[in-house]
Amino acid sequence: MKSLDRSAAALWAFLGAVTLVAVWEGFVRWRNVAPMKLLPPSRMVSAFADSPSFYLDNTWVTARHLLVGVTASLAVSVVIGAALAAFRPLEHASQPLLVLILVTPWVAYITSIVLWLGSGTPSIVFLVAFVTVPGWVFATVSGMRGADPAARELFRSVDASRREVLFKLRLPSALPSIFTAARINVGLGLAAAYFAEGATFTNEGLGAWGKRAAAQQLPAILWTTILCAAVLGVAAQVLVIGLERWLLRWHVSQRTT
């Protein structure tokens, strides 16, 4: 029954995707939309088919920037989040900085990042990590604070160390909210990577070629880099959802009963 439900869901998702592509293709052709404004999917596919290695190589570069940035950010944020969850004054003190990171436009400070770290990968990875930190930290703090009070008391009753409470209780309790943040941060990190690649004077990555194509009025390359970035984002989301299903199989959000 469960597999039938999943098959039906996959079928509906496929039908939705096909409908979207068909409407897109039809609309662009019917309205004769300028290619720089919107390219029909068929032309993106043919541009990709003309030089697949070019797009695949650059997609891989962007994927690497995303993966390294988001992973580094997660590692740092869990440490920060654990500290903030343990000491409330520290949490209050950190709020201005976290909110500032969250609301300040990247374009406002990307030049400063390039001046500090130089062009290329270091600046790109830094921006990806930097913009995803608040999401991870907020998720970690709220998840750790939400650990079952009765279980916390149980740990206290046998004088468990802070480390044991962190790794055996608080961190697993924070996993559901961390995964929720992951879904948002994957999209945010990808946008940051695409933007930073175009703004840090590099020749690698979808963002770098997308920006160059926009400047030189090359719609096929511009839109195909966008398509590749979108496919990369979907793949990353699928990976996160798969990991979530596996690691949180005990959690109410992953259960059908």
Partner 1 sequence: MYAFQHWLEVASTHSGCSHRACAGGTCYRCTSPNGLGNVTGGRLGSQPVRSADVTVDATKRGADQPLAAIEIRGVTKRFGDVAALTPVDLTIRQGQVVTILGPSGCGKTTLLRIVAGLEASTSGSVTIDSNDSHTARRRKRVGFVPQAPALLPWRTVEANARLLQDVNRYANSGRLPDVLALLERVGLTSFRDAYPHELSGGMQQRVALVRAFALGAPYLLMDEPFAALDEITRADMRYLLAALCEPLNTTVMFVTHSLPEAVFISDRVVVLSSRPGRVVDIVDVELPHPRLPELEDTPEFFSLITKLRHALIAGAGEQGTGNAEGRP
Q: Which residue ranges make up the site for partner 1 (CB under 8 A)?
A: 148, 150-151, 153-161, 164, 168-169, 172, 175, 249-252, 255
Of residues 54 and 155, the one with the C-beta less far from partner 1: 155
Nearer to partner 1 among residue 110 and residue 165 (C-beta): 165
Nearer to partner 1, 107 or 158 (CB): 158
Among 225, 205, 143, 219, CA closest to 176: 143
CA separation for the pair 229, 205 (Å, rounded): 10
Closest separation between CB of residue 214 and partner 1, Å? 47
Task: State the nearest-atom distance from the C-beta of 173 to partner 1, in Å.
Answer: 9
**What are the φ/ψ torsions at residue 213 (nearest 5 degrees)?**
-65, -35
Distance in angstroms (rounded) separating the CA atoms of residues 196 and 114: 10
Query: Judged by CB, which is closer to partner 1: 78, or 127?
Result: 78
CB of 167 to partner 1, least distance (A): 10
Q: What is the 3-state secondary structure (H, E, C) of 151-199?
A: HHHHHHHCCCCHHHHHHHHHHHHHHHHHHHHHHHHHHHHHHHHHHHHHH
Minimum separation from the CB atom of position 105 to partner 1 (A):
39
Residue closer to partner 1, measured from CB, 119 or 254? 254
Residue 92 CB, shortest distance to partner 1, in Å, is 24
The DSSP call for residue 38 is -
Minimum Å distance from CB 147 to partner 1? 9
User: Is the Cβ of residue 38 or residue 160 nearer to partner 1 in the bound state?
Assistant: 160
Minimum CB distance to partner 1 smaller for 5 or for 164: 164
Residue 165: name the closest of 173, 155, 174 by CA: 155
Q: At closest approach, how far in Å is the CB of 257 from partner 1? A: 8
If you compute the radius of gyration of the chain from its CA atoms, what whole number of angstroms results? 22
DSSP H helices in 87-170? 88-103, 106-117, 121-145, 149-157, 162-165
CA distances from 123 to 69, 114, 150 (A): 10, 6, 45
